[in-house]
A and B are shown apart, each in its own frame.
Chain A
Amino acid sequence: MLARIYALVIKEFLALLKDRATRVVLVGPPIIQLIVFGYAATFDLNHVPYVVYDEDGGGAARQLLAHFEGSPTFRIVGRVSREEQIAPLLDNQSALVALHIGPHFSRDLLLHRPASVQVLIDGRNSNTAALALNHVSAILAAFNLQWMKEHGWRAPPAQPELRAWYNPNLVSRWFIVPGIVALLTLVVTLLVTGLSVAREREMGTLDQLLVTPLRPLEILIGKALPGFLIGGLEAAVITLAVILWFRVPFKGSVAALALGVMLFLLAVIGIGLLISTLAATQQQGLLGVFLFLVPAVILSGFSTPVSNMPEAVQWLTRVNPMRYFLVIVRGVFLEGADMTTLWPQYWPLALLGAASLSAATWRFRKRL
């Protein structure tokens, strides 16, 4: 039986790798995507373009603006001298923020009165806008502290100290880039397994396989193993790149991650094979891959937190292997999570793998 499966695996590998286009598709895009997405995927703001409308021109206003100029988060794109000039700049997205300092800003401050700064912001991307407002508040707070100290104002009754665990500088890349391991492994594994049975069926070679002494289960194992090996290899290479190239700290154990990768691959392969056995044609197979892949990525917590979803959708994400694997990857990388803490992620993955693989086997048998 082992010899038969071995022969079949060799055949599957040859079928995958003899086609130059497939070879290129399996090797090139993951590497390019890792690099490009690794740099693209960030929620951290930098060089936020802003314009200044300073009606005051006094020393206090200059001091406040110096705080903005010194911040790497903001980049000045212009100064305007009339209020009407602000709207077009925000409209066509040349500036995200406009700071409007009123004519009495310096005078009010010197008279020990609160002085107001108007902050106009383009809210089209609400996340960017909220983060930019946070940064504006932080700069104002720094300016206020300095002003209070220098001019003998009463200090605020309470002042927070901010601290962040696991990611002290709150670099969002540390969160997103380990997620790319999950993303690309999912895509590659699904591509290898999702169309495999449908292709043979459409080309008529499945019938040839069936008349050989191979049993249905062996055929499925032969289809699953290449996905497992290729997916595992890609996951290892991408993980290494995330550590060595993107310098994301790796605090946990390799074993905890390896177990997670294996369980994740089994679940994804099971789903891929299930799609493949359900599809009559490759077109249907592709449709099935898309119908699984796209929600699996978007509703995984990769970019937007699962906890923000409504209850019903959160419940739906429980059948999404990527959701569990993302917690594992991020936990191992950033929090140093070990196997015991990750147990609540391991068993649903194992369950999903067992269920989808047996469903695929059952489907495949029945179709004969």
Chain B
Amino acid sequence: MKHRRLRALIRKEFLQILRDPSAIAIAFVMPAFLLFLFGYGVSLDARHVPVAVVVEQPDRDTEAFAAGLAQSPYFEPQRFTDMTAASAALQQRQVEGILWLRQDFSRHLLRGETAPFSIIVNGVDANSARLLEGYLQGVWQNWLQQRARSSGVPFVVPAVSTERIWFNPALRSRNYLVPGLIAVIMTLIGALLTAMVVAREWERGTMEALMATPVTLTEILLGKLLPYFLMGMGGMALTVALALTLFAVPLVGSLWTLSLSSALFLLVALGMGLLISTLARNQFVAGQLAVIVTFLPAFMLSGFIFDIGSMPAPVQLVTHVVAARYFVSILQTVFLAGDLWPVLLVNSAALAFMATIFLGLTWRLSRKRLD
């Protein structure tokens, strides 16, 4: 009996979805489209950065230095002979940085003194500027070694570091941004799918009509949840397929941990949408709330792009209520590092807890309002 009622409700929901195809667009077209666009668009790997090279007195030594820039794919060097023109170029954003070898550069070298030179960057985008400084210093280090070899004057650096980068040896930013994007996108999709459906029923008065039938509240909520859950999982599968094929993100972990944690996360996202629409009971407000509480927190506070470890302690505390935070952590680990159980278990437990809270609150609030 109960089973039959639930089936009828799910069938009703599916018919409604088919009649207004925007839900299908949300579940399948939107995630794939957004990931396609962002996967290409979001990158922290600079390439071909225009850099001014100011050589005031060109000779063999300065040419060897400048050649290091030309060989690197990071830079697109532009030659200048004096600082005035280079400064103007930096001001007008034609170049992002300046490497300045002064007139006395080679003279210092010949005398065996330390020749000073300048690295100047446009600091407005501090993150890119820092990375650029790092790359330019890399050119300097290479030059030091090359010079020690070619000039026959051995130059010994005391402590030398050998770096081993785990999980993402080429430091390809796409490898961590694409899994993060999946979490951000699925937060949106989950909330959007459900945020307005319950509000719509309240606003149109069809919720009261449903209440008057013998179906129970649990059945109504399950009838809302299940169809959208299935559609959401479909959208999720699409994005994962895109990440693996088009963006060539490695999947080190197993597919079943990925599916299981995705299902858990989807329950949280859908639960949040249901809760919003139960609270708002009006599509306009439900829509506004969905924008504010889903997208921006998932974008800024999930660790998708801004590292949570670098935030001040009170803000780190706030991030704990953002479900995407746990999913970003799970996805980055499963994709790049593998099934590391300590990470997976802690984050999955948090997701399960949040799902329970959201769905439980929705259930309680709907009942209360019925009386």
A-side interface residues toward B, CB under 8 Å? 19, 21-22, 25, 29, 33, 36-37, 39-49, 64, 88, 90-93, 96, 105, 109, 112-131, 133-134, 136-137, 140, 143-144, 147-148, 153-168, 170-172, 174-175, 183, 187, 191, 195, 199, 202, 281-287, 289-291, 293-295, 297-299, 303-305, 307-310, 312-313, 316-317, 330, 334-335
Contacts and interface: CB of A to CB of B under 8 A. Distances in A.
Interface in B11-28: 20, 22, 25-26
A41 B144 contact: no
Given A303-B42, A335-B124, 10 more contacts: A40-B311, A42-B310, A44-B310, A49-B309, A117-B161, A144-B158, A154-B156, A160-B116, A183-B296, A334-B124
Contacts of A312: 40
Nearest to B134: A134
Given A42-B310, A118-B162, A158-B115, A283 B200 contact: yes
A191 B291 contact: yes
B70 interface: no
Contact of B163 (A96, A121, A281, A295): A121
B209 interface: no
Nearest to B143: A158
Contacts of B136: 160
Q: Which 5 A-B pairs have the closest CB atoms?
A: A167-B123, A164-B123, A123-B168, A43-B127, A172-B126
A11 to B, nearest CB: 16
B120 A163 contact: yes
Interface in B194-249: 195-196, 200
A17 B274 CA distance: 25
Given A43-B306, A134-B131, A147 B159 contact: yes
Contacts, number: 358
Nearest to A38: B315
B140 A158 contact: yes
B53 interface: no
Nearest to A130: B171
Contacts of A168: 123
A93 B126 contact: no
Interface residues of B, number: 113
A25 B310 contact: no
A124 B90 CA distance: 33
Contact of A125 (B34, B176, B289, B300): B176
A145 B121 CA distance: 23
B307 A282 contact: no
Given A49-B309, A148-B158, A158-B144, A126 B292 contact: no
B147 interface: yes
B44 A167 contact: no
B370 to A, nearest CB: 20
Contact of A199 (B20, B118, B125, B284): B284
Given A36-B301, A118-B162, A159-B115, A126 B173 contact: yes
- Mostly, the B contact residues are helix
Nearest to A157: B109
B283 interface: yes
A199 B12 CA distance: 25
B311 A91 contact: no
9 contacts: A21-B280, A25-B289, A29-B293, A41-B306, A47-B309, A123-B171, A156-B157, A170-B123, A304-B305
Given A129-B171, A158-B117, A162-B133, A294 B315 contact: no
Contacts of B290: 286
B169 interface: yes
A123 B165 contact: yes
Interface in B38-58: 38, 40-47, 49
B158 A298 contact: no
Nearest to B179: A124
B180 to A, nearest CB: 9
Interface in B286-343: 287-293, 295-296, 299-301, 303, 305-307, 309-312, 314-315, 318-319, 329, 332-333, 336-337, 340, 342-343
